[in-house]
């Protein structure tokens, strides 16, 4: 697989996780109390990210087999945990990090089999 395709696969996951973080920000009560327009902006941004993810991912799936592309989905839980920790300031225990690592490995094993 070409390096460009691998990078594209990883970029896809960044858009997916970014979209989820924005949606969470849009739906969280702290955003509800602030300006309505800002909340809408988060929501639109989130949907926008997910739309970009969807078409990029379709593009990837046209180029390579589903079984080759799918292990990259394993990046999601790890990236998302990092994002939630850094951006949303959600606290994670050591057990949570271990659990996320296991989900990641599990997805790679499921999709690689």
Question: What mask, x for binding another protein by CB under 8 A, covers residues 9 to 48?
Answer: -----------xx-xx--xxxx-x----------------
Pair 23, 46: CB distance under 8 Å: yes
Distance CA 63, CA 24 (A): 32
By CB neighbour count within 10 A (0-12 exposed, 13-18 middle, 19+ buried), where does 32 fall? exposed
| Site stretch for another protein (CB under 8 A), options 2-10, 34-42, 76-84 | 76-84
96 binds another protein (CB under 8 A): yes
| Site stretch for another protein (CB under 8 A), options 7-15, 34-42, 84-92 | 84-92
Total binding residues for another protein by CB under 8 A? 43
Question: Which residues in this chain contact another protein in the complex, by CB under 8 A?
Answer: 20-21, 23-24, 27-30, 32, 58-59, 62, 73, 76-77, 80-81, 84-85, 88-93, 95-96, 98-113
């Amino acid at each position: 697989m070409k390096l460009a395709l691998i990078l594209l696969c990883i970029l896809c996951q960044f858009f997916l996780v970014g979209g989820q973080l924005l949606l969470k920000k849009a739906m969280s009560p702290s955003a509800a109390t602030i300006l309505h327009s800002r909340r809408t902006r988060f929501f639109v941004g989130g949907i926008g990210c997910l739309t970009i993810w969807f078409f990029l991912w379709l593009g990837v799936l046209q180029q390579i087999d589903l079984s080759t592309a799918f292990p990259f989905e394993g990046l999601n839980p790890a990236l998302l945990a990092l994002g939630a920790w850094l951006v949303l300031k959600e606290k994670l225990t050591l057990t949570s990090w271990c659990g996320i690592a296991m989900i990641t490995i599990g997805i790679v094993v499921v999709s690689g089999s």
